[in-house]
């Protein structure tokens, strides 16, 4: 973001992987990144990005959810080691990571999926409809 470049799912996955160091600081950073990712997903869906590819897509993939699960296990080991209070960890740091793990069950995921389908299939359907209209016009003349 410092160079006015928006992150994508690959960037987030790389950042999440770098947080898997077993430290509480890594868990805290991962939680912050997860919250930012959910915010960016909402912004992408709201903006209606029409050209979505792997370099502009922010929607979490299987690897993102796998990393988030591993980071939640790391956070659990942090509270088991006494580095953070369990209740504090569950109510603050764990929430954004859990949001990523359960992303596919949310309304936001449904909106993102319908937008993705529209982008993939929207243009050809419109072209076919216009061709049908042209054929109908030709028949009427």
Q: What is the pLDDT of residues 53-73, one digit of tens each?
A: 777 788 888 899 999 999 999
- Compute how many other C-beta atoms are within 10 angstroms of the C-beta atom of residue 105: 9
pLDDT tens string 68-118: 999 999 999 999 999 999 999 999 999 999 988 888 777 777 777 776 677
State whether residue 6 is helix, strand or coil: coil
How far apart CA 89 and CA 4 sit, in angstroms, is 32
Is pLDDT of 41 > 90?
no
Check residue 103 and give its pLDDT: 82
Average of per-residue pLDDT across 1-21: 86
pLDDT at position 73 = 96
Q: What CA–CA distance (Å, rounded) separates 10 from 137?
A: 48
Q: What is the DSSP string of 31-60?
A: HHHHHHHHHHHHHHHHHT-SS--TTT--S-
Q: Give the pLDDT score at 122.
A: 56
């Amino acid at each position: 973001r410092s160079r006015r470049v928006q992150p994508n799912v690959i960037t987030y996955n790389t950042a999440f992987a770098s947080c898997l160091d077993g430290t509480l600081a890594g868990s805290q950073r991962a939680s912050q990144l997860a919250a930012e990712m959910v915010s960016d997903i909402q912004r992408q869906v709201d903006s209606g990005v029409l050209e979505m590819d792997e370099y502009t897509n922010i929607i979490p993939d299987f690897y993102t959810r796998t990393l988030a699960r591993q980071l939640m296990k790391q956070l659990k080991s942090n509270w088991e080691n006494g580095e953070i209070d369990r209740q504090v960890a569950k109510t603050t740091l764990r929430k954004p990571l859990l949001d990523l793990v359960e992303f596919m069950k949310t309304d936001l995921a449904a909106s993102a999926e319908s937008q993705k389908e529209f982008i993939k299939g929207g243009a050809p359907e419109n072209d076919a409809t216009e061709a049908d209209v042209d054929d109908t016009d030709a028949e009427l003349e």
